[in-house]
């Protein structure tokens, strides 16, 4: 487990982004944990989140020209990541889409920099992959080239096949799809902290049933 991963998990637990209990997923599964990136809802935690994403992007070595965030959760993400990347001497434009195209004012579907070159897609988590599919369609339609997908968590859970949703996206579009943490990281963190015994047991049981090989 790299040094950044425990720090991110600790921050996520502190901000109640990562919660333990009983939660129903979009797939109708009863999950022992829930991850809600929207709970990074103040300036300091959003700043820290941007730093984690930026470090992952820099460490990936992927060449890119701009960031794209799908509405709505992707909007604050691309903003804070663009700011964090400046600390890595990288000044990158960003944009995001509207849910509905605007026909007055500046008009159009895209807010921010015009889409061009190699574009990184930033999101919170990949579930069914719907948001990523729409993002790639928007990028292609505006003359850009999808260069990769970055999310906060890979649940490492079976999607429509025996592989995870994030793997399905990567395979379908032949682009890298990377996450700050994954379910395995969460389990490793819980194993190293004695007061999470019940949570660890529940998540290990869940992974055995729904996790990828």
Give me the domains of the chain, ranges plus CATH numbers: 4-210 (3.40.50.2020)
* pTM for this entry: 0.92
> Taking CA 137 as the corner, what is the angle to CA 173 and CA 119, rounded to the nearest 5 degrees?
70
CA quadruple 68, 74, 78, 84: dihedral sign: negative
Instruction: Provide mean pLDDT across the span 115-132.
Output: 89
DSSP assignment of 95-131: EEEEEEEE-STT-EEEEESPP-SEEEEE-SB-SSSHH
Half-sphere exposure of 40 (CA within 13 A, CB side): 26
Name the catalytic one among 99, 104, 195, 208.
104
Give the percent of the chain with pLDDT over 70.
94
Model confidence over 153-205: pLDDT tens digits? 999 988 778 888 899 999 999 999 999 999 999 999 999 999 999 999 999 99
Can you read off the two tokens belonging to residue 37? 């990136």
| Catalytic site includes residue 14 | no
Q: What is the pLDDT of residue 103?
A: 52
**From 16, 47, 88, 102, active-site residue:** 102
Which pLDDT value is given to residue 106? Answer: 52
Active site residue 47: no
């Amino acid at each position: 487990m790299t040094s950044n991963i425990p720090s991110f998990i600790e921050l996520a637990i502190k901000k109640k982004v990562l919660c333990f209990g009983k939660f129903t997923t979009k797939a109708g599964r009863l999950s022992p944990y829930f991850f809600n990136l929207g709970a990074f809802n103040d300036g300091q935690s959003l700043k820290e989140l941007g730093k984690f994403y930026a470090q992952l992007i820099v460490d990936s070595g992927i060449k890119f020209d701009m960031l794209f965030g799908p509405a709505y959760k992707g909007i604050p993400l691309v903003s804070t990541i663009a700011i964090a990347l400046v600390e890595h001497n990288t000044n990158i434009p960003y944009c995001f889409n509207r849910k509905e195209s605007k026909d007055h004012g500046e008009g159009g579907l895209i807010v921010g920099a015009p889409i061009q070159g190699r574009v990184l897609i930033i999101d919170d988590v990949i579930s069914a992959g719907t948001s990523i599919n729409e993002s790639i369609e928007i990028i292609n339609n505006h003359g850009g080239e999808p260069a990769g997908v970055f999310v906060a968590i890979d649940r490492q859970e079976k999607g429509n096949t025996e592989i995870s949703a994030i793997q399905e996206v990567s395979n379908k579009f032949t682009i890298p799809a990377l996450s700050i943490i994954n379910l395995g990281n969460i389990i490793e963190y819980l194993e190293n902290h004695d007061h999470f015994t019940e949570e660890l047991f529940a998540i290990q049981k869940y992974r055995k049933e729904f996790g990828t090989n």
